[in-house]
Chains A and B, each alone.
Chain A
């Protein structure tokens, strides 16, 4: 599924965000017109925030009043109601699809960790002001309200006050939406950050926080940051103390799986307040292919540790899910913990999957896993 395309920009001075309209909307002020512009001049589109077109308008010069991106490489992926952003360089990004269950706010490309298996490698330029403003407007435009919304990055807490403004906007404008924020939790080692988050009092907020080992040395190595383990653990305790729901996320690879049962025990003993533990297969994108030798283990070869970890966690009453795993690789005893977790826009099945009788229950693979997946995949 496509979330990005590009065309030729005309009069796009700054990023323009709006709702895609194929038909004439009741109110043009929040709409971006999508469609053929043939036979119409710029004056016919006054009041729109922007215009998207697959072809070149006959009289481009008459469009000076409204930002336009024409000659788009693709337009079929747009649907009525999608929220998109038109960028001065001609890129058009889809930020929100009302029909999808996998929408997320992207808050920043920056991060204070640098995980070996990062699927979204950080970039060190200050985009926080831009993304704060963009997301505040995106939240204002979202309708109908999604039942679920992710928050991702980068590390969202790097937005500082911007994050709390975004969460307050979600609380006020989308009060029934469950919000799930991915964060390394390190910022919450400082109680003023935790207090500020608690003060937002978002009623349906869960923080998904990664913990890769019960050993601080190993965790710090995997996230490539000194003291990260201590900060994350302290952050988890502060969040629990202020009554904020946390989920623990573990990425399964060659460095984390050998001590997975020990990590499970650690979680039961030290973080019993976590509402959910997600044990997640590797996403072979970003840094992962480049660190293949360090990270890769065929998932078939860590099933014993995975099974033991799930047993330890469930005996203690923890809610456990296995993400990003294929049923044919997973031990059958663990099938009922497997979730179809991969976001729709990057979820694929391989050619051998077409003959599989369990394909309806199976979560399939990441699009990026075409080359990097278990050699034991087979039709069931």
Chain B
């Protein structure tokens, strides 16, 4: 994961340089985080929601009618792990799926406001809980933050973005707002004061 973060920062630097040279290109994961950091608007990206969006904002129906929290949940089932199978659309009603024991157990671990290591984290508002990931990787719905690749990756990327926002470089900040507002750097330069 450290290697990935190093690569991510190098790639982001390159993308920022491309934008400065007049070529508009967005880094979409950064854009999702920046929307949460710089605006009052939500994103529809379920991985960074609390409560975790998979199962609430989205349900996955398999070919046989089985209902899962997400595609990752369905993939686990293909490996004989049906932890995130909440019911079957041919047999169960909407109410029984959402009131199932499997769903309740899953949702109890889906709010980072109440997860160990997340509850007191300063970056909580930008991040999400991912019980499916932690179940698959750490064998525990709640997960262990100090060794969680999910936590490490998001913490590093969010902190890197905050450092760039706070760097005092106006064009980087303009570019971040341009991504969030789906416009080019040159367009946003025209709208903002030409500050020194």
Contacts and interface: CB of A to CB of B under 8 A. Distances in A.
Interface of A: 268-270, 272, 307, 310-311, 314-317, 331, 333-334, 337
29 contacts: A268-B39, A268-B40, A269-B40, A270-B40, A272-B40, A272-B41, A307-B195, A310-B192, A310-B193, A311-B170, A311-B192, A311-B195, A314-B191, A315-B173, A315-B177, A315-B188, A315-B192, A316-B38, A316-B39, A316-B177, A317-B177, A317-B181, A317-B191, A331-B193, A333-B193, A333-B194, A333-B195, A333-B196, A337-B193
Interface string B165-196: 00000100110010001000000100111111
A316 B183 CA distance: 12
Nearest to A336: B193
Contacts of A268: 39-40
A334 B195 CA distance: 9
Contacts of B174: 315
A307 B193 contact: yes
Contacts of B39: 268-269, 272, 316
Which label, helix, strand, loop or mixed, suits the secondary structure of the A interface? helix
B28 to A, nearest CB: 20
A377 to B, nearest CB: 22
Nearest to B41: A272
A317 B173 CA distance: 13
A32 to B, nearest CB: 49
Interface centre among B40, B188, B193, B196 (most CB of A within 10 A): B193
Contacts of A270: 40
In the A-B complex, the 9 residue pairs with the smallest Cβ-Cβ separation, listed nearest first, are A333-B193, A315-B177, A314-B192, A269-B40, A333-B194, A314-B191, A333-B195, A310-B193, A311-B193
B193 A334 contact: yes
B102 to A, nearest CB: 38
Contacts of A317: 177, 181, 191
A310 B170 CA distance: 13
A333 B173 CA distance: 17
Interface residues of B, number: 16
A331 B194 CA distance: 10
A290 B173 CA distance: 42
Contacts of A331: 193
Contacts of B195: 307, 311, 333
Nearest to A271: B40
Contacts of A334: 193
Nearest to B195: A333
Interface in B52-101: none
Most buried by A among B170, B173, B174, B192: B192
A334 B173 CA distance: 19
A237 to B, nearest CB: 12
Nearest to B192: A314
Contacts of A314: 191-193
A307 B192 CA distance: 10
B34 to A, nearest CB: 12
A23 B41 CA distance: 61
A314 B194 CA distance: 11
A99 to B, nearest CB: 34
Nearest to A333: B193
Given A314-B193, A315-B192, 14 more contacts: A269-B40, A270-B40, A272-B40, A307-B195, A310-B192, A311-B192, A311-B193, A315-B177, A316-B177, A317-B181, A317-B191, A331-B193, A333-B196, A334-B193
Nearest to B40: A269
Most buried by B among A270, A315, A317: A315
A269 B41 CA distance: 9
Contacts of B188: 315
Contacts of B170: 311
A269 to B, nearest CB: 5
> Could you say which of A268, A269, A317, A334 has the most chain B C-beta atoms within 10 Å of its C-beta?
A317
A331 to B, nearest CB: 8
A310 B38 CA distance: 16
A307 B193 CA distance: 8
A270 B41 CA distance: 10
Contacts of A272: 39-41
Contacts of A316: 38-39, 177
Interface string B31-48: 000000011110000000
A333 B196 CA distance: 8
Most buried by B among A307, A316, A337: A316
B1 to A, nearest CB: 32
A181 B173 CA distance: 35
Interface string B5-49: 000000000000000000000000000000000111100000000
Contacts of B194: 333
Contacts of B41: 272
A311 B177 CA distance: 11
Contacts of A269: 39-40
Nearest to B39: A316
Nearest to A310: B193
Contacts of A311: 170, 192-193, 195
A135 B117 CA distance: 64
Contacts of B40: 268-270, 272
A78 B113 CA distance: 69
